[in-house]
Amino acid sequence: MKYERLLTPFTVRKTTFPNRIVFPPVQTNFASADGDVTDRLIRFYRRIAENGIGLTIVGATGISPVSRLGDHAFCLYDESKIGSAARLFDAIQSAGSVPAVQLNHGGRAMSLKLAGGQLVAPSAIAAPASKNVPRELSIEEIDEIIGQFAHTAENAVKAGARMVEFHGTHSFLLNQFLSPLSNQRKDRYGGSTENRARIVAEILEKARALVGDDIVLGLRISAGEYIDGGMTVDECVKMVNMFTEKGLDIVHISAGGRDSGGRMLTEASKGNLIRLAGEVKKKVKIPVIAVGGILRLDQAERALEEGQADMVAIGRALIADPELVTKTLRGREKDVVECNACLQCFVPGPEPGIICAVNDDL
Ligand SMILES: Cc1cc2nc3c(=O)[nH]c(=O)nc-3n(C[C@H](O)[C@H](O)[C@H](O)COP(=O)(O)O)c2cc1C
């Protein structure tokens, strides 16, 4: 069978993904101004999920009112949002895909306005991209943020998510803690690899206690930052192995982020993010999701065949054509509307919500 590896189900804890194809987290900004699920947000995810996607990870949602990345970002930190979120996760589940959500705090990399006028980070070091200088978080505040990640995970599970992914890459708060470039704390949350990783370890422990044993806990982490002195594959592996002891089930490998400009996407287009995932996979004991630059199913199948990953995520190519997988499986590759990597999806338009240059029906 063509695409045999991609189409083989995969079980983690008690969840069976019907295949190895993942829609990675994408911040659509399609929710309402107060973070509720909208019909547009549901339609966006349903169309992708129902077209042959085994795991659909809803894009970064904030863990508190001052952590979200978009003014129309989907929110889950407040229990009053569980009913709204349930509509979204139900739609994904009914479409035949496993519903998951990514949880995030933007830290120093978010906009001052969405942060409530004060950026926070592990250390008071300016964000390279914006030059904004954050305030160093106190131990009490770190404890509060750990609780907020765990509590939002619990809300997600109550709303029907079967997997929660913590966002530890792309220059956001957890990445800021993990990286020696942005974390120069002298207390137990900074310094050694173990100390920089502590916040994620504590989130995993606290979240596991709240969500129980059946839920899949994931982490998206950087295997490189494209800045001298940043995270490396070796340090990423060391941290993933530590997190595995704390209950991490699956790891999603990315690299770079806001601090290194568009480098993550140029590296993705060269296939280099998939290769990084392969390097990590050789040295960790849990399943690996690879992502970056996949435009066709044969590329995804090859990543599995070469042992680079256990699951493969396809982002922009599914925004460009939500039917990429089903069209390909039915022998209609020629009808696939291909992503041209123009990066229009990263450029804010006049209205809230992402725009795609080759798909005007988002
Ligand atoms: C519009 C847009 C929004 C994104 N939002 C997120 C996000 O919320 N969280 C995240 O970890 N990655 C986010 N990403 C990165 C994607 O998940 C993915 O890693 C990246 O696009 C590379 O994969 P691709 O080449 O298949 O698109 C976003 C990407 C795009 C295009």
Give me the CATH number covering residue 333.
3.20.20.70
**Structural domain contains residue 356:** no
* In the block, residue with structure tokens 């798909």: 359
Q: Is 59 in the pocket of ligand 1 (CB under 6 A)?
A: yes
Residue 224 token pair = 């490189």
Q: What spacing in Å lies between the alpha carbon of 25 and ligand 1's midpoint?
A: 6
pLDDT of residue 91: 98
Q: Using CA atoms, how far apart are residues 169 and 219, in angstroms rounded to an integer?
A: 9
- pLDDT, position 120: 98
The larger pLDDT score, comparing residue 195 to residue 349, is at 195
**What average pLDDT is seen over the chain?**
96
- Reported as a single tens digit per residue, the pLDDT across 29-62 is 999 999 999 999 999 999 999 999 999 999 999 9
Give the pLDDT band of residue 347 (cuts 50, 70, 90). Answer: confident
Ligand 1 pocket test: which of 27, 48, 288, 294 has the largest number of ligand atoms within 8 Å of its C-beta? Answer: 27
58 ligand 1 Cβ < 6 A? no
The token pair at 266 is: 């140029």
From CA 263, how far away is CA 308, in angstroms rounded?
A: 21
Q: Is the CB of 182 under 6 A from ligand 1?
A: no
Q: Which of 195, 174, 6, 163 is nearest to 106 (CA)?
A: 174
Q: 25 in ligand 1 pocket by Cβ < 6 Å?
A: yes
Residue 290 pairs in a beta bridge with: 312
Which residue's C-alpha comes closest to atom 22 of ligand 1?
Answer: 292
Q: What angle do CA 256, 273, 12 make, to 5 degrees?
A: 105
Encode pLDDT of 307-326 as tens digits: 999 999 999 999 999 999 99
352 within some domain: no
254 Cβ inside 6 Å of ligand 1: yes
Residue 262 has pLDDT above 90, yes or no: no
Whether 192 shows a pLDDT value over 90: the answer reads yes
- Is 295 touching ligand 1 by the criterion CB < 6 Å? no
pLDDT of residue 132: 94
Q: What angle do CA 354, 355, 361 make, to 5 degrees?
A: 110
Q: Assess whether the C-beta atom of 26 lies below 6 angstroms from ligand 1.
A: yes
Q: Which helix (H) or strand (E) holds 89?
A: helix 82-94
* Domain annotation covers residue 126: yes
* Mean pLDDT calculated for residue range 79-86: 96
Q: Is the confidence at residue 1, as pLDDT, over 90?
A: no
The pLDDT, as a whole number, for residue 261 is: 84
**DSSP structure class, residue 293:** S
Residue 280 lies in a domain: yes
* Closest residue by CA, ligand 1 atom 23: 292
Between CA 26 and CA 337, with CA 7 as vertex, the angle to 5 degrees is: 50
* Whether residue 256 has its Cβ less than 6 Å from ligand 1: no
Per-residue pLDDT of 54-66, as tens digits, reads 999 999 999 999 9
Report the alpha-carbon distance of residue 165 to residue 194 in Å, rounded.
20
Would you say the C-alpha torsion 206, 119, 122, 163 has a positive or negative sign?
positive
- Please work out whether the CB of residue 345 comes within 6 Å of at least one atom of ligand 1: yes
Whether residue 80 is contained in a domain is answered as yes
Residue that the structure tokens 């490189």 belong to:
224
How far is the C-alpha of 220 from the C-alpha of 151, rounded, in Å?
19
DSSP string, 334-355: GG--------GGGS--SSSS--
Predicted pLDDT at 19:
98
Q: Whose CA is nearest to atom 6 of ligand 1?
A: 26
Place of tokens 């992914």: 165
The answer, yes or no, to whether residue 290 has pLDDT greater than 90, is yes
Model confidence at 214, pLDDT cuts 50, 70, 90, reads very high
**Residue 24 CA, ligand 1 centroid: distance in Å:** 7
Angle between helices 82-94 and 39-49 (to 10 degrees): 30
| pTM, to two decimals | 0.97
Provide the number of structural domains found in the chain. Answer: 1
In a domain, 274, yes or no: yes
Is residue 69 within 8 Å of residue 104, measured between CB atoms?
Answer: yes
Is 4 within the bounds of a domain?
no
Q: Which domain holds residue 290?
A: 10-346
Both tokens assigned to 89: 């996760």
294 Cβ closer than 6 Å to some ligand 1 atom = yes
Q: Whose CA is nearest to atom 4 of ligand 1?
A: 26
Percent of the chain scored above 90 by pLDDT?
93
- Give strand ranges (E) for 142-206: 163-168
Q: Does ligand 1 come within 6 angstroms of the Cβ of 292? A: yes
CA 99 to chain centre: 13
pLDDT tops 90 at residue 346: no
- In a domain, residue 362? The reply is no
Instruction: Determine whether the shortest distance from the Cβ of 68 to ligand 1 is under 6 A.
Output: no
